């Protein structure tokens, strides 16, 4: 009878090639992402791809491998915060792997995480939701008012905020 294999070995064999196509040597960057950037930022950004330079340095030019560019998908409201924290994130990634594998971060604004239709108000304290609605209520243009309302809800949304506090 064959010995059972750990699930991690089977999963890595299945998704390893997909990660390799995106420039990741292993799948652990996604698993370690909350440790690297912190739980708060990890909810709003994910690594998407690691691009390596096409031209490799020869040993005469300085030796070791060149750093890559990490492409990170980030929610719009947190893009500026991540942009300001990029040097810290690069330092943490490189410390995690033990070498300067990332030299630059490129942000791609996108939705991150599992969101279903109509889930925008979930996780928003009703009082804060009311503040947003009141703030945009004086805007006459319907499209602009709706867009600013969505932005305001996204800005004040926090996981678990709609739960009653005890």
Going from N- to C-terminal start, the domains of the chain cover 14-109, 117-166
User: What pLDDT does residue 140 have?
Assistant: 92
User: Please, how many CA atoms are within 13 Å of residue 54, restricted to the half-sphere of its CB?
Assistant: 0
The pTM for the full model equals 0.54
Confidence band of 108 (pLDDT split at 50, 70, 90) = very high
Between residues 24 and 91, which one has the greater pLDDT?
91
Nearest to 49 by CA among 34, 70, 67, 79: 70
- pLDDT above 90: percentage of residues in the chain: 24
């Amino acid at each position: 009878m064959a010995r059972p294999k750990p699930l991690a070995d089977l999963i890595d064999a299945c998704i390893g090639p997909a990660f390799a196509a995106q420039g990741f040597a292993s799948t652990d960057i996604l698993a370690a992402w909350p440790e690297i950037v912190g739980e708060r930022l990890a909810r709003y950004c994910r690594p998407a791809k690691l691009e390596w330079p096409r031209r490799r340095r020869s040993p005469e030019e300085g030796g070791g491998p060149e750093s890559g560019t990490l492409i990170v998908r980030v929610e719009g409201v947190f893009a500026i915060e991540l942009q300001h924290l990029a040097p810290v994130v690069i330092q943490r990634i490189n410390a995690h792997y033990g070498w300067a594998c990332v030299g630059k971060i490129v942000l791609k604004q996108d939705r991150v995480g599992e969101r279903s239709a109509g889930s925008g108000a979930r996780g928003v304290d009703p009082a804060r939701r009311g503040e947003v609605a009141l703030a945009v209520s004086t805007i006459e243009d319907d499209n602009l008012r709706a867009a600013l309302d969505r932005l305001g809800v996204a800005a004040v949304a926090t996981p678990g905020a709609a739960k009653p506090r005890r």
